[in-house]
Amino acid sequence: MLRLYDILSRRRWASPVILTVLSLLLLIPSLTLEYNENVTDFLPFDNETKEGMEVYSQLSGSDRIIVLFEGKTRNESANAVEAFAENMNSALPDVDVVSAVGADQMQDFIAAVYYVAPVVMNDSDFEQALNIMLDADSVKTRLHSAKERLLFPGANRQVISSDPLSLFGTVMQRVNTLSPSTHADMENGCFFIPDTETAIAFVKSPYGGQETAQNKRLLASIDSVAAISTHVPVHTFGAIPIAVSNAERIKADSVISIAIAVGLIAVLLFFSFRRRRNLLLIPAAVGFGILFALGILGLMRDEVSLIVLGIAAVIVGIAVNYPLHFITHADGGTHPRQVLRELARPLVIGNITTIGAFLCLVPLKARALQDLGLFAALLLGGTIIFVVIFLPHLLFRYGKSNPSAARALADRISDTRLDRNRFFTMTMLAITVVLAYFCFDTRFDTDLRNINYLTEAHKSDTTLLERMSQNADTARGEYFIITQAATLDSALSLQEKVQNDVSGGQFISRIIPSRSTLKRNVERWNDFIHAHGDSVMTIFTEVAIQEGFNPEAFSAFTDKVRGGVAMPDDEAFNMVIQTLGGRYITDNDGVTSVAARVELDSAEVSELRNKLSHAHNEAHLFNINEANSSLANSLSDEFNYIALACSLIVFGFLWLSFGRVELSIIAFAPMAISWIWILGLMDIFGLQFNIVNIILSTFIFGQGDDYTIFITEGVMYEYTYRRKMLASFKTGILISALIMFIGIGSLVFSQHPALLSLAWVTVLGMGTVVLMAYVIPPYLFNLLVRHKDRYREYPHTLLSLLRPRRSHSITGWVRARYYYKGAAVERAVRKTLKYAFPIMRHQMLSEPWHEIVAVIGDSYGCMALTFARMHPDVRVVSVNENPEVMAVVNGLSFLPSNFSVSSMMPEEPYTLLSICDYEKNHSLSHSTRCQSGKSCR
């Protein structure tokens, strides 16, 4: 990083030019992205469950808007419905409105049923029809019954003329069973909620149930048409109005929260920094990160969930840490190069671990969560690129200045060492033990309705419309058997095979059979007519005349007897499908699904599922309750996966970065303990995880590891260089945490349950993480390196804790001086002692040495320190011109009195010992002895 900084600093034009060109290159693919608002993309559906949910959604009418007319009398409500439907058809002719069952609709429905009736009868129906038509007494009885029905008011003449002998009554019964499991009162063709004066109209949205923007405009049109149609109170209900009200509530809550957050954050930053012009670089860094994410996603995806971008507000709260920490350290007048030297490592380590945590979302089933993981990782990656490459060259530089009052207060808070307060740490330990007892009882809320926003009117309407639900047998559940194929005819053929294994149920294939079944039934009917048609017509004509009928009045029936029936053409067949069973048929991406509705008890479910799995692999069983339970289990499994994967990735990279398992445990412990606190407090306060706040687990690790890495780096820096740094890191974390609390905490003013849940869990989680980061790493680190008020001669390690009494060799004693000084320092010292010391040891012990020995080319003074330990009577000087190396050596504990470090050669006569470059297999050493009484430099 420093080398790149030096290259760009010598060419001051390069940084802004590269940044501008890169931004333009990223802008082009970002403009090609399309956005959707489908919330179901966040649900981990497999293909079967997804298809089942689509079928259930279609059958439950989720694309319909229920319009309620609350007149004082049913007549007034019916008139309001009629006026509304007329005006809607004029204003929005492309929108289907079902306000009543009119004569034309009823005629079309009856015509469709009796058009297919002769060729959809099953074998028993057909056998019964044959016996009736060939028996004069049966014909007489049936025609006499038809004549009596005609005498009653409201008799359906179309049904009687189409089926005077009631041959197709069983077909009509099967058609009626295809109706939804709800009922309404019918009066003069108008629908009413049972036992009320409230009339109902249904408006089918042409946009489906997910396009809230289009549906919002449709609802506004419905309200305006209703206002000009009637003075009766009118309001809408259903899945679409609830979805729109949820979207509107989220937008309203977001605007309020963002306004509060932006105002408070602006005030916080304004009063925290002296160099306020540099504050503009914070949104610039995050803005570049967002552009970077959208640009890369534009190359990988055609579309992305708009909800994912909405969650970006939380991710921005993490991304803002990187420029904020950089500017916080530079605000005191430190040169950007020095800031980069001190912060590049913790910034990059924290960024990589956070990116790793978010990438854990990519293998999940839900497409939106995959996009969220990618978007978050790319946003954070783009932000860190801006911070470590471009930000140092864009800072406005000034000399040192006094901190602002707010910054001074933050510094005083950060300088408070809660980890050294024994009472406080013991209290935290006791609370952790108590919360550990409660943390295992935290639950996942499987009811998705609990994260929906319902207005008071919607709650009232829900109670009202429950009257339309039929009293179902609670011992039996509603299931759907779904068959899939490339064509409708193939799907119907599969359903016909399945229906033979199920008694009862609502099978569309019993009304609309496959082509092969149609052909067989047509031939069966025509064969009968060819053999007995004349006899049937003779019997029917004679009996009809006797009963006072004109036989020509039954032409719809007699035509089928005289001329037989033909295979329905495609246009007529499609009309029958739309009229009788369109809701049971879905077509998605070239795959046609046909559903059947059955009621089963638990024993029947297991038996049928076994049959389907063995005999009908193309069919599967779906139940909404089982789907929700499966969804909850999937979310719970994915929650466990996210927690485990994030833990392993973060811990593994911490170990790799710090180079010591002890330091990785210190950095990871706050996150582990904070989860005990979070889960325990959630159980105590009655909070539950849900599909929204479950994503918080990633954010906790994403934000928490940044905090703990900075604190751990801070205590290591102070231990290594003996210079204060921890308070500065804490100040940056404090300001960052306040920004996060303000940004997400402002959602506590929300009315939407999902946002409110997210806000409380986030505030609870992040507050716990910050507290743990402030206290645990310094406390644990001091346990390793300090005893009471002084540093230990031998810092604790896991090995020393397991084997507390062990002797130390000279090299072991030297290595112990460098424990916890950083991975680079420890690796360099370990390598030098491992390869150079065995070769030079004999020379160090055997040769006579002057009173002063100067050692050069040494790794952080480790060979000079070894030499001083071996020769306590010789004054050893480690010579190094690098101030960072000198600071490390001066920060070592329990140094021998004959050892010192200097940037210059001694003035007195000395022996020069040069630790030359070496390799593992052929290391070299060289010493030059000065003449007595002469200076050798």
pLDDT 10s digits, 609-640: 777 776 666 677 777 777 766 666 676 676 67
Query: Cα angle vertex 572, ends 570, 574, to 5°?
Result: 65
Kindly tell me if the per-residue pLDDT of 924 is higher than 60: no
Task: Return d(Cα 245, Cα 61) in angstroms, integer.
Answer: 18
For residues 560-567, average pLDDT: 82
Give which of 50, 7, 1, 217 is closest to 593, Cα–Cα.
50
Q: Which helix (H) or strand (E) holds 902?
A: strand 899-902
Give residue 174's Cα distance to chain centre.
43
Query: What is the tens place of the pLDDT at every residue in 228-285?
Result: 888 888 888 877 888 788 777 877 777 777 677 777 777 777 776 666 677 788 888 8
- In DSSP terms, which residues pair with 199 in a beta bridge? 69, 192
Mean local confidence (pLDDT), 718-739: 82
On the question of pLDDT at 697 being above 70, the answer is: no
| Confidence category of residue 382, pLDDT binned at 50, 70, 90 | very high
The three-class DSSP label of residue 678 is: helix
Would you say residue 165 has pLDDT above 50?
yes
DSSP string, 356-381: HHHHTTTTSS-HHHHHHHHHHHHHHH
Q: What is the maximal distance between C-alpha atoms in the chain? A: 150
Q: How confident is the model at residue 561 (pLDDT cuts 50, 70, 90)?
A: confident
At residue 359, what is the residue type? L
Q: Which residues contact 308 (CB under 8 A, 6 or more apart)?
A: 368, 371, 372, 375
Q: What percent of the chain has pLDDT over 90?
A: 6
Tokens at 758, concatenated:
């997210």
Residues 6+ apart with CB under 8 A from 91: 221, 225
* Distance between CA atoms of residues 333 and 329, nearest Å: 8
Confidence of residue 153 (pLDDT cuts 50, 70, 90): low
Distance in angstroms (rounded) separating the CA atoms of residues 689 and 682: 9
| Cα torsion angle, 128, 134, 135, 136, sign | positive
**What crossing angle do the helices spanning 696-721 and 367-385 adopt, rounded to 10°?**
30
Instruction: Tell the burial category of 547 from Cβ atoms under 10 Å away from its Cβ (0-12, 13-18, 19+).
Output: middle
Which residue has tokens 């921890």? 726
- Going by C-alpha positions, the residue among 183, 187, 199 that lies closest to residue 84 is 199
Rounded CA gap, 636 and 630, in Å? 10
Give 50's pLDDT tier (boundaries 50, 70, 90): low
Residue 521 has pLDDT above 80, yes or no: yes
What are the angstrom distances between the C-alpha of 37 and each of 60, 61, 306, 308, 368?
21, 20, 5, 9, 10
Q: Where are the beta strands (DSSP E) in 475-531?
A: 477-485, 506-507
Q: Which of 22-26, 528-532, 807-811, 869-873 has the lowest mean pLDDT?
A: 807-811
Cβ-contact 704, 769 below 8 angstroms: yes
870 vs 872: CA distance, rounded Å:
6
Rounded distance between C-alpha atoms, residue 146 and residue 132, angstroms: 14
344: tokens are: 């590049």
- The span from the CA of 321 to the CA of 557, in Å, is 81
Instruction: For the chain, give the percent of residues with pLDDT over 70.
Output: 80
Measured distance CA(780)–CA(786) in Å, rounded? 10
**Per-residue model confidence (pLDDT) at position 213:** 76
Please check whether residue 413 is in contact with residue 734, taking contact to mean a CB–CB distance below 8 angstroms.
yes
Q: Which 8-state DSSP code applies to residue 793?
A: S
274, 331 contact by CB (below 8 A): yes
**pLDDT the model gives residue 24:** 92
- Residue 682, sorted as left (phi over 0), alpha (psi -120 to 50) or beta, turns out to be alpha
CA nearest neighbour of 642 among 695, 595, 709, 706:
695
d(CA 65, CA 279): 49
Calculate helix-pair angle for 862-870, 823-835, nearest 10 degrees.
Answer: 50
- Asked if residue 180 has pLDDT above 70, the reply is no
Cα separation of 340 and 326, whole Å? Answer: 8
Confidence at residue 15, expressed as pLDDT on a 0 to 100 scale:
84
Reading the block at residue 759, the tokens are 């806000």
pLDDT at 722: 86
| Whole-Å CA distances, 214 to 204, 217, 247, 453 | 13, 5, 12, 19
pLDDT tens across 320-376, in order? 778 887 887 776 667 888 888 878 888 888 788 788 878 877 877 777 778 888 888
Between the alpha carbon of residue 549 and those of residues 110, 141, 226, 561, 655, the distances in Å are: 22, 14, 48, 17, 96
Per the structure block, which two tokens stand in for 932?
A: 């007595």
Do the Cβ atoms of 1 and 388 come closer than 8 Å?
Answer: yes
Residue with tokens 């005289």: 562
Handedness of CA 189, 194, 198, 203 (dihedral sign): negative
The length of the chain is 937
Half-sphere exposure of 398 (CA within 13 A, CB side): 14
* Alpha carbon distance 769, 433 (integer Å): 17
pLDDT band at 292 (very low <50, low <70, confident <90, very high): very high
pLDDT of amino acid 616: 63
Report how far residue 331's alpha carbon sits from residue 116's, in angstroms, rounded to the nearest whole number: 83
Amino acid residing at 815: R
Q: What is the pTM of this model?
A: 0.68
Angle at 158 between CA 154 and CA 163, to 5 degrees: 115
- How far is the C-alpha of 685 from the C-alpha of 574, rounded, in Å? 57
How distant, in Å, are the alpha carbons of 519, 843, 875 from that of 865? 99, 16, 11
| CB burial readout 634-646, b (16+ within 10 A) else e | bbeebeeebbebb
What are the pLDDT digits (tens) for 644-683?
Answer: 777 888 888 888 888 889 999 998 999 889 888 888 888 8
Average pLDDT over residues 518-530: 88
